[in-house]
Amino acid sequence: MNLLRRIPLVLSTVALAAAPVGATPADDQKLAEDDRVSELERKVEILTDELARTREEMGVPEEKQELESVHGLGPGASRIYGITKGLSIGGYAEGGYTAVVHNKRGSGDQNGADFARAVLYAGYKFTDRILFNTEIEFEHATTELTATNDEGGSVSVEFATLDFLIQDELNARAGLVLMPVGFLNQIHEPPFYYGTHRPDVERLILPTTWREVGAGLFGRIADQIEYKIYAVTSMNATGFEPSGIREGRQQGSEALAEDLAFVGRLDWQPVPEVTLGGSAFVGNTGQDQAFDTNLDGFDDVHLPDALLTLWEAHGEFASRGLRARGLFAMSHLADAGSLTQDLFATGRIAAGEAIAEDTLGGYGEIGYEVLQWIAPQSGWTVEPFVRAEYIDPQYDVPSGFAEDKTQQFQVYTVGVSAKPIPNVVLKLDYRNRVARRGALGDEINLGIGVVF
């Protein structure tokens, strides 16, 4: 009986030993708060990891990320190549003001301002070897007609390509591809060329921005040689004008594909500071087109093959703030005489106008970054530059036709590009334009540009 009486006492003693010494309701509350803090810390850690993963997948730029060109594309367009997987967003924009020098107002030129472009790069990397990249461009601020722009702006897909990255030396690309010609057709973001306006040689002789539907190969060999070769839809000769071949671009919009073309480019860097290269485009442009000019139900005009051969050679030197570029381009159009007659018969050109057999143009420029000596700690770069251009889209015309000498002109540009950061540029330049015949106004240009 004494043992049985002692059982409750033993159980009470064990219970007291198991309880925390000095435990109170306040202690219980503190333990609960500690648990909540631990849970919040765990959730914050999870959110931080998720945010880092999202930044990587969306290609969100780090503050000090370098602007670099990959596979010949502009640094903004190249962002997709630097992420592991997922969505990449980039873009650029540019606008400017032009004042015509008064003593040449007889040219008919007027002062004007234009927000020329706002561009969105959007790409998606499915795997480390398969990606899709696009450039969507809004030109001249609106597609509506305005009091001063009776054509309105435009919204265009500048390029849209599916890349298969196999190895450095050999990769494949298909879609709406940028023609790999000249300096600016692939890299046309405003911080990366001098002047408010793109060089006229690369607008009129090499018709930027030029893209066609096609497919091909690209790569880099031995870290010195970079190449591209594509088969693409050729130009459409019905768009050719006395001012050049620019309007023959089909731009991937329900493009005729009776005639295909081949375009290739080769760049060689013997040392990191020097780039030498060239490109060529070859293809018929008649697109097997026939027209009924008499409206009698019978085609009486059939365009010739009109084989177009276009080539350019270029070189660049860049070192210690000095950058110099040079480019020379020519094109030759077979059957230019019969094509001129056919385009006149269909009402596409006027009597006396001629589509040139040969076009020619070239330019050289040099610039130097001066703040590296004056204010190296400022974070800015300031590059004065000069450029000289010669443009002749009527270099040689078919027999029996006269050259339109008003199409031949020279441009001398002096200006400065200032960058507070590498992504932003402020531009000021003076362009002296000299026509072989007729008047062209000199220009003072102010511009801004960004890339991201």
Q: What angle do CA 100, 105, 107 make, to 5 degrees?
A: 105
Q: What pLDDT band is residue 12 in, cutting at 50, 70 and 90? A: very low
What average pLDDT does this structure show over 393-411? 95
- Please tell me the predicted confidence (pLDDT) of residue 54: 59
Query: What pLDDT shows up at residue 57?
Result: 53
Q: Confirm whether 413 is domain-assigned.
A: yes
pLDDT tens per residue across span 342-356: 999 999 999 999 999
pLDDT-based confidence at residue 107 (cuts at 50, 70, 90): low
Is pLDDT above 50 for 1? no
CA distance 173 to 436: 43
Please say if the pLDDT value at position 7 is more than 50: no
Identify the pLDDT of residue 38: 78
CA angle 178, 414, 405 (to 5 degrees): 70
Assigned domain for 37 exists: no
Q: Is residue 43 part of a domain?
A: no
How many structural domains compose the chain?
1
Residue 32 scores a pLDDT above 90: no
Domain range spanning residue 93?
Answer: 74-451
Q: Is the pLDDT of residue 20 over 50?
A: no
CA dihedral angle for residue 372, residue 96, residue 242, residue 396, rounded to 10 degrees: -10
Q: Read off the pLDDT of residues 326-342 as tens digits, 9 standing for 90 and up.
A: 999 999 999 999 999 99
Residue 111 inside a domain? The answer is yes
Residue 52 lies in a domain: no
Is 31 contained in some domain?
A: no
Q: What is the CATH number of the domain that holds 93?
A: 2.40.160.10
Q: Is residue 27 part of a domain?
A: no
Give how far the C-alpha of residue 92 lies from the chain's centroid of Cα atoms, to the nearest Å. Answer: 9
Q: What is the mean pLDDT of residues 123-134?
A: 98
Q: Which residue has the higher pLDDT, 259 or 293?
A: 259
Q: In this predicted structure, what is the pLDDT of residue 22?
A: 52
Q: Across the chain, what does the average pLDDT equal?
A: 90
Residue 67: inside a domain: no
Q: pLDDT tens, 266-315? A: 999 999 999 999 999 999 999 999 999 888 788 889 999 999 999 999 99
State the pLDDT at residue 52: 65
Sign of CA dihedral 216, 452, 366, 197: positive
| Residue 61 predicted with pLDDT over 50 | no
Q: Which tens digit of pLDDT belongs to each residue from 75-106? A: 999 999 999 999 999 999 999 999 998 666 55
